[in-house]
């Protein structure tokens, strides 16, 4: 029999247990992570950064309230991340959340700090209205400050926060050089890449001449889309750079295209010959791929002119990657007028591995080429299967010292351009080159975080249209059929029990 005393004791025990659990939960944070890429687990790189902290870091997170659920989840994910950072840093990471929309003063403070507002659609009383929202953070250490202006839903949140902390604590950033003087685009024409590299590197350009040397401060040399030939003395400078342990990234295509004349031609440069000596040949052909991006083509119907997207196989979309730190987490890289690679691993002191491939429906075309957007492509055009478009080489590439070389069979895919002709690149285009530079520059361990986030998982483009349709409908209908099937199964069991009870005689 329950007495008032027992009820009070039971209630006290329940409340006491809840309070104890809250105290424990506030001191210890743990969760199980079953995601494929361990999205909700801190990487070793982040743990090392937090372990090496000497001074406290304050994170002021500016997040608006009353946001749509999919955007509000960003705030919860960021809060959970900060809790883990605080625990792993022995509470040297201190954080607070501020709602900038609460007062005009707090909104002005957020904007002055560098947090930019975004406009989002919010449904309210069966109406959709636009609301100004803030999703950013300011990270401070002493008198130094860095800003994460916008935390995008599904983005690599840990990478943004860890690199920001690393930038505050980094005293001597490594140097990366971009080669100029041989027809390469300037650093300013690669604005997205430079913006990403500036976080952890000092970036500068270098021009080489015969009998010169590349300054010792540079560990990595980046060569993007050279069009002119180099002298033997200039190639000797590159060989000397490799012989002292320097590393090179070469994004080079042996062909080029002019959209104004709708034609493609071979690049008359001897740079490909130098790469071939290292065991990687860039073919003097255009790569064509059925898995490709589109171009807009004008089509006229009567008095009206429409812009219609048309598949353009000269813009291959790369989804096939070997397991490698450079390609970790990459989903889709769009190359422009690329050339496939051939591997010649004749030198046993050098190891060469392809790391990116075209789709199974690929082919090549020898220049000169006329681009016809209205061309009717058939299976006969794509008979070569997967072709390497990027490869890495390491070992004694020159002299007796080990060095590294990354070769990508396209140079234009990383160039934004300048002025009104500048274009926004796909994020993975930039990530691909940034990851390669990290790998070459004895990376800080953050290479695997750059692509750690919610990513698209498209259906394999090489599948037939009928198979794609079947998979789409199967994904939609299978859960419903399982629920209905389970309901019928339970109904049959209950019906049998009922009939069994009815058939029993109690006389």
Query: Torsion angle of alpha carbons 253, 258, 259, 261, nearest 10°?
Result: -150
3-state per-residue secondary structure call for 145-183: EEEECCCCCCCCHHHHHHHHHHHHHCCCCCEEEEEECCC
Q: How far apart are CA 86 and CA 440, in angstroms?
A: 31
Q: What local confidence, expressed as pLDDT, does residue 454 receive?
A: 45
- The reply to whether 6 falls in a domain is no
How does residue 447 score in pLDDT terms, banded at 50, 70 and 90? low
* One domain, residues 226 and 326: yes
- The reply to whether 346 falls in a domain is yes
How does residue 459 score in pLDDT terms, banded at 50, 70 and 90? low
* One domain, residues 162 and 232: no
Q: What local confidence, expressed as pLDDT, does residue 266 receive?
A: 95
* One domain, residues 308 and 333: yes
3-state per-residue secondary structure call for 190-251: CHHHHHHHCCCCEEEEEECCCCCCCCCCEEEEEEECCCCCCCHHHHHHHHHHHHCCCEEEEE
* One domain, residues 99 and 247: no
Rg (CA), the chain: 29
What average pLDDT does range 27-48 have in this prediction?
A: 65
Q: What local confidence, expressed as pLDDT, does residue 152 receive?
A: 77
What average pLDDT does range 131-135 have in this prediction?
A: 86
* One domain, residues 146 and 193: no
Structural domain harbouring 208: 174-449
Q: How far apart are CA 341 and CA 104, in angstroms?
A: 58
The more confident residue out of 414 and 2 is 414
How does residue 203 score in pLDDT terms, banded at 50, 70 and 90? very high
Q: How far apart are CA 448 and CA 127, in angstroms?
A: 42
- The domain that holds 185 is classified in CATH as 3.40.50
Rounded to the nearest 5 percent, the helix, strand and coil shares of the chain are 35, 30, 40
Encode pLDDT of 228-280 as tens digits. Answer: 999 999 999 999 999 999 999 999 999 999 888 989 999 999 999 999 999 99
Encode pLDDT of 385-412 as tens digits. Answer: 899 999 999 999 998 999 999 999 999 9
Poorest-pLDDT segment among 128-142, 203-217, 273-287: 128-142
Last residue of a domain, one of 417, 432, 449: 449
Beta bridge partner(s), residue 180:
207
- The reply to whether 45 falls in a domain is yes
* Token reading at 447: 């290479």
How many C-beta atoms surround the C-beta of residue 246 within 10 A? 22
The answer to whether residues 202 and 174 touch, using CB atoms and an 8 Å cutoff, is: yes
Last residue of a domain, one of 168, 193, 215: 168
* One domain, residues 162 and 180: no
How does residue 163 score in pLDDT terms, banded at 50, 70 and 90? confident
Helix 157-169 and helix 44-51, axial crossing angle in degrees, nearest 10: 30
Highest mean pLDDT pick, 11-20, 82-91, 416-425: 82-91
How many C-beta atoms surround the C-beta of residue 107 within 10 A? 20
How does residue 314 score in pLDDT terms, banded at 50, 70 and 90? very high
- The reply to whether 60 falls in a domain is yes
How does residue 453 score in pLDDT terms, banded at 50, 70 and 90? low
- The reply to whether 468 falls in a domain is no
135 has pLDDT over 70: yes
Q: What local confidence, expressed as pLDDT, does residue 406 receive?
A: 98
The more confident residue out of 485 and 24 is 485
Poorest-pLDDT segment among 13-22, 24-33, 385-394: 24-33
Q: What local confidence, expressed as pLDDT, does residue 126 receive?
A: 66
* Token reading at 336: 């422009």
Q: How far apart are CA 228 and CA 248, in angstroms?
A: 18
Closest CA to 158 of 303, 27, 311, 33: 33
- The reply to whether 98 falls in a domain is yes
Poorest-pLDDT segment among 12-26, 159-173, 342-356, 404-418: 12-26
Of all helices (H) and strands (E), which one includes residue 12?
A: helix 4-27
- The reply to whether 206 falls in a domain is yes
Closest CA to 224 of 181, 264, 261, 178: 178
Q: How far apart are CA 409 and CA 19, in angstroms?
A: 61
Average pLDDT for the chain: 86
Query: 100: which DSSP letter?
Result: T
* One domain, residues 102 and 193: no
Q: What local confidence, expressed as pLDDT, does residue 38 receive?
A: 57
Q: How far apart are CA 167 and CA 438, in angstroms?
A: 15
* One domain, residues 316 and 210: yes
Q: What local confidence, expressed as pLDDT, does residue 43 receive?
A: 79
* One domain, residues 295 and 419: yes
* One domain, residues 352 and 236: yes
The verdict on whether omega for the bond into residue 57 sits within 30 degrees of 0, i.e. cis, is: no
Q: What local confidence, expressed as pLDDT, does residue 504 receive?
A: 67
What average pLDDT does range 455-479 have in this prediction?
A: 68
Q: What percent of the chain has pLDDT over 70?
A: 88
Structurally, how many domains does the chain consist of?
2
Strand positions, DSSP E, 368-426: 369-370, 388-398, 401-408
DSSP helix/strand/coil, 310: strand
* One domain, residues 125 and 96: yes
Encode pLDDT of 68-83 as tens digits. Answer: 887 888 888 899 899 9
Q: What local confidence, expressed as pLDDT, does residue 69 receive?
A: 82
The answer to whether residues 49 and 162 touch, using CB atoms and an 8 Å cutoff, is: yes
CA 212, distance to chain mean position in Å, is 37
The answer to whether residues 75 and 37 touch, using CB atoms and an 8 Å cutoff, is: no
* One domain, residues 122 and 239: no
Of all helices (H) and strands (E), which one includes residue 334?
A: strand 333-334
Closest CA to 63 of 155, 137, 119, 121: 137
- The domain that holds 83 is classified in CATH as 3.40.30.10
Q: What local confidence, expressed as pLDDT, does residue 482 receive?
A: 84
- The reply to whether 7 falls in a domain is no
Q: What percent of the chain has pLDDT over 90?
A: 48
Q: What local confidence, expressed as pLDDT, does residue 141 receive?
A: 93
How does residue 307 score in pLDDT terms, banded at 50, 70 and 90? confident
| Nearby residues of 237 by Cβ (< 8 Å), 6 or more positions away | 208, 209, 210, 212, 213, 214
Last residue of a domain, one of 117, 145, 168: 168
Q: How far apart are CA 288 and CA 384, in angstroms?
A: 10
């Amino acid at each position: 029999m329950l007495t008032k005393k027992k009820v009070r004791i039971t209630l006290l025990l329940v409340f006491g247990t809840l309070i104890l659990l809250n105290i424990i939960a506030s001191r210890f944070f743990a969760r199980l992570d079953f995601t494929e890429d361990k999205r909700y687990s801190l990487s070793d790189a982040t743990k090392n950064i937090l372990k090496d902290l000497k001074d406290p870091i304050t994170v002021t997170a500016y997040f608006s309230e009353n946001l749509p659920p999919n955007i509000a989840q960003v705030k919860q994910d960021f809060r959970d991340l900060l809790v883990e950072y605080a625990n792993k840093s022995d509470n040297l990471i201190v954080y607070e959340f501020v709602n900038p929309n609460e007062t005009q003063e707090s909104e002005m403070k957020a904007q002055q700090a560098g947090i930019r507002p975004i406009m989002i659609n919010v449904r309210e009383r069966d109406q959709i209205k636009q609301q100004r929202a803030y999703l950013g953070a300011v990270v401070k250490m002493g008198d130094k400050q860095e800003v994460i202006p916008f935390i995008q839903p599904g983005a690599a949140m840990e990478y943004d926060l860890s690199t920001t902390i690393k930038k505050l604590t980094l005293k001597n950033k490594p140097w990366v050089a971009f080669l100029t003087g041989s027809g390469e685009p300037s650093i300013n024409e690669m604005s997205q890449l430079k913006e990403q590299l500036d976080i952890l590197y000092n970036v500068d350009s270098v021009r080489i001449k015969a009998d010169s040397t590349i300054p010792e401060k540079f560990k990595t040399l980046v060569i993007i889309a050279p069009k002119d030939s180099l002298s033997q003395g200039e190639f000797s400078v590159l060989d000397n750079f490799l012989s002292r342990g320097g590393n090179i990234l070469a994004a080079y295509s042996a062909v080029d295209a002019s959209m104004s004349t709708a034609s493609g031609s071979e690049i008359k440069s001897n740079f490909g010959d130098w790469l071939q000596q290292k065991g990687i040949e860039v073919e003097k052909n255009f790569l064509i791929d059925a898995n490709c991006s589109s171009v807009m083509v004008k089509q006229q119907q009567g008095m009206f002119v429409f812009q219609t997207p048309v598949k353009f196989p000269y813009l291959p979309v790369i989804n096939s990657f070997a397991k490698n730190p450079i390609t970790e987490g990459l989903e889709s890289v769009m190359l422009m007028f690329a050339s496939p690679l051939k591997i010649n691993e004749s030198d046993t002191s050098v190891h060469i591995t392809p790391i990116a491939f075209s789709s199974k429906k690929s082919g090549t075309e020898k220049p000169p080429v006329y681009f016809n957007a209205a061309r009717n492509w058939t299976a006969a055009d794509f008979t070569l299967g997967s072709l390497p478009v990027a490869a890495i080489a390491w070992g004694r590439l020159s002299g007796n010292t080990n060095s590294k070389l990354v070769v990508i069979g396209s140079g234009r895919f990383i160039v934004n351009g300048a002025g009104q002709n500048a274009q926004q690149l796909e994020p993975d285009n930039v990530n691909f080159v940034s990851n390669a530079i990290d790998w070459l520059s004895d990376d800080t361990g953050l290479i695997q975080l750059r692509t750690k986030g919610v990513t698209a998982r498209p259906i394999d483009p090489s599948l037939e249209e009928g198979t794609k349709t079947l998979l789409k409908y199967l994904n939609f209908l299978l859960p419903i059929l399982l629920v209905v099937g389970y309901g019928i199964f339970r109904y049959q069991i209950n019906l049998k029990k009922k009939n069994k009870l009815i058939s029993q005689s109690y006389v």
